[in-house]
């Protein structure tokens, strides 16, 4: 299955397994995605290989950033009518508290989409959505 076929299959069925398996980094960190109606919730499972500080133990900041950036890109792909691959232009991340070694969630919100550029806000949390461990803003270039 080619990339456009995988994207189309995912958009039509809501089955993210083929898409996520086609992205090596998503597979390595264990990224998962669940669809609830039109909403997408991204999950990063508890995984020893994702730790940056085994003493706390806390998830590596780069893993959190990669999880959030990849979530935003997948969210943007799934929210479009056409199959355009977004290209990251800018990513700004604020770490708010330690991401402990437990399941982590992320949700995205499209704040602006033009013909060529889209902006996405991302929030990641663990125990409570009202206490995020990190927030981010991503700007993407949309290409045909």
Over residues 70-128, the pLDDT tens digits come to 999 999 988 887 777 789 999 999 999 999 999 999 999 999 998 899 999 999 999 99
Question: What's the pLDDT at 14?
Answer: 85
First to last CA, the chain: 19
Share of the chain above pLDDT 90, in %: 71
Q: Which CATH number does the domain housing residue 72 bear?
A: 3.10.129.10
Per-residue confidence (pLDDT) for residue 122, from 0 to 100: 98
Give the pLDDT confidence score for residue 2 in this predicted structure.
56
> Among residues 72, 77, 65, which one has the least CA distance to residue 29?
65
pTM: 0.93
What is the number of domains present in the chain? 1
Domain, as residue range, for 36: 3-143
Lowest mean pLDDT segment, chosen from 5-19, 47-61, 66-80, 126-140: 5-19
Burial of 31 per CB tally in 10 Å (0-12, 13-18, 19+):
buried
Cis peptide before 57 (omega within 30 of 0): yes
The span from the CA of 9 to the CA of 2, in Å, is: 10
**Alpha helices in the chain, H assignment, sequence order:** 3-13, 17-21, 24-29, 61-79
């Amino acid at each position: 299955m080619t990339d456009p076929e995988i994207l189309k299959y995912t958009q039509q069925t809501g089955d993210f397994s083929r898409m996520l398996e086609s992205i090596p980094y998503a597979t390595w960190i264990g990224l998962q995605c669940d669809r609830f109606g039109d909403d997408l919730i991204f999950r990063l499972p508890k995984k020893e290989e994702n730790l940056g500080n085994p003493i706390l133990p806390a998830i590596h900041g780069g893993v959190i950033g990669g999880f959030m950036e990849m979530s935003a890109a997948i969210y943007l792909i799934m929210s479009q009518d056409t199959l355009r691959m977004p290209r990251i232009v800018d990513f700004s991340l604020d770490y708010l508290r330690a991401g402990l070694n437990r399941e982590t969630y992320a949700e995205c919100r499209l704040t602006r989409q033009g013909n060529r550029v889209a902006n996405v806000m991302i929030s990641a949390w663990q125990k409570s959505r009202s206490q995020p461990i990190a927030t981010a803003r991503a700007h993407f270039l949309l290409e045909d």
